[in-house]
Copies of this chain bind each other. A is one copy, B any other.
Amino acid sequence: MREAIEDLLDGYAEAIDDGQIERWPGFFIENGTYQIITRESHDAGLPIGILYCDSRGMMEDRVRALRTANIYEPHAYRHLLGRPHFERNGDGFDVRSNFCVFRIAQDGETVTFATGRYLDRVVEDGGALRFEARRVVLDSRRVDILLVLPL
């Protein structure tokens, strides 16, 4: 099961790092949720995050907007993931993992863009593991306004 969970987490990061954001919604179940929130808000139990999607359709809209508008400065990400920690909970798994995302701007400049934790709820869905919920808890409260690609 560890292998299968790590494959899901790695595959997700790989799709984004490769610039294949069209594949991003497919890592979630139909009514899956995706949220980016600061550690400060998460620890305070505040529900309001930086970004929230509550279905695969909403994620697909976001991908379309990104591809169409194309107003953002083009850049790429590179994820480095820590080993996940997980436990079975009902019919799925609660998974926690550390991450660091580097951002490479078009001129080649590389910065440590974000560090934090993924807090995930993973379930089996049609023979594959998918996210029922993925919460990205950012360590820093300094959030780049240009944040556009999913983390």
CB of B140 within 8 A of CB of A85, answer no
Contact: A116 with B85, CB < 8 Å? no
Interface-facing stretch out of A46-54, A58-66, A106-114, A128-136 = A106-114
CB < 8 Å neighbour of A139 from B13, B85, B102: B102
Asked if A115 CB lies within 8 Å of chain B CBs, one says yes
Known: A108-B141, A112-B110. A81 touches B82 (CB 8 A): yes
- Interface contact B142-A76, CB-CB below 8 Å: no
* A115 and B98 contacting across the interface, CB-CB below 8 Å: no
Q: Does A6 contact B (CB under 8 A)?
A: yes
The answer to whether B104 touches A110, judged by C-beta atoms less than 8 angstroms apart, is: no
* Smallest CB gap from A113: residue in B: B110
Question: How far is B140's CA from A128's CA once the two chains are assembled, in angstroms?
Answer: 34
Question: A100 is contacted by which of B39, B76, B80 (Cβ under 8 Å)?
Answer: B80
Whether the Cβ atoms of B107 and A112 lie closer than 8 Å is: no
Known: A80-B98, A139-B76. A115 touches B110 (CB 8 A): yes
Chain B residues contacting A17 (CB-CB under 8 Å) are 98, 117
Residue from A81, A83, A104, A117 whose CB has the most chain B CB atoms within 10 Å? A83
Known: A76-B139, A80-B82, A100-B102. 16 other contacts (CB 8 A): A6-B83, A7-B85, A10-B83, A10-B85, A13-B98, A39-B76, A79-B98, A80-B80, A80-B98, A80-B100, A102-B112, A104-B140, A107-B141, A108-B141, A110-B142, A111-B112
